[in-house]
Structure 1
Amino acid sequence: MKSIHKKLMVVLTSFLLFICFISFLAFNHHKNTDNWGEVLDSRETNTVSGSSETPTAPPPTEPSKETTEKEETPKTVTIMIDVKGAVVHPGVYTISNTSRVVDAIDIAGGLQKDADSAKLNLAEHLADEMVIYVPKKGEELPDEFSSGTVSPSASSPTANTTSSSSTTSTLVHLNSATEADIETIPGIGPAKAKAILDYREQNGPFKTIEDLGNVSGIGDKTIERLKPYLDLN
Structure 2
Amino acid sequence: MPMYRKSLLILLLILIAVAGGTYYGCYTQEKEAVQLDVAANPAVQQGGTEKGAEITVYVTGAINKPGVVTVKEGARTADAVNACGGLLPTADAEKVNMAQVLKDGQQVRVPEKAGAETAAAAKSGNANPAAKSSTSSKAAPSGTVNINTASAEELDTLPGIGPAMAQRIIEFRETEGAFTAIEDIKRVKGIGEAKFEKMKDKICI
| Shared fold, TM over 0.5 | no
Per the normalisation by structure 1, the TM-score is 0.36
Per the normalisation by structure 2, the TM-score is 0.39
